Amino acid sequence: MNYKKYFETMSICFGVGLLSLLVSSFILTVLNYFDLVTGNIFTILKLLIPFLSLLIAGILLGRKSKSKGWLEGLKLSLGFIVLFTLIQLFFLEDPFRLTNVLYDAILMMITIFGSMLGINMKTNQK
């Protein structure tokens, strides 16, 4: 196994997920600032942005993986969860609430699903 290539692939997928999360969050913040998106739509988009970003990162990782998409998605999601937990530790008063743990579990399942979907998309194109 070529560890350099594996680390490069994992880093690219992590970067794509993080970049798409940051860019879409910035766009949503600007839209909210100018009152173009408010209320329930803002709340729904605020929840959907991380889901879609990690789904895209999982699909990308699955397309680059050879097998065991669920395991690759688990590794990628654990990286994101560690990052999100560190951010929550520094910026929230109570970072280990049940809602945060459930949100992280949903993010993990979505990333795993995305990488399994990416593996299947790759095999169907041949």
Confidence of residue 88 (pLDDT cuts 50, 70, 90): confident
Confidence of residue 77 (pLDDT cuts 50, 70, 90): very high
Confidence of residue 41 (pLDDT cuts 50, 70, 90): very high
Residue whose pair of structure tokens reads 């196994």 in the numeric block: 1
What pLDDT is recorded for position 102? 93
Q: Is the pLDDT of residue 124 over 80?
A: no
The DSSP-derived string for 34-92 is: TTSS-HHHHHHHHHHHHHHHHHHHHHHHHHH-SS-HHHHHHHHHHHHHHHHHHHHHHH-
Supply 6's token pair.
């594996």
Return the domain boundaries, the chain: 3-124
Q: Is the pLDDT of residue 68 over 60?
A: yes
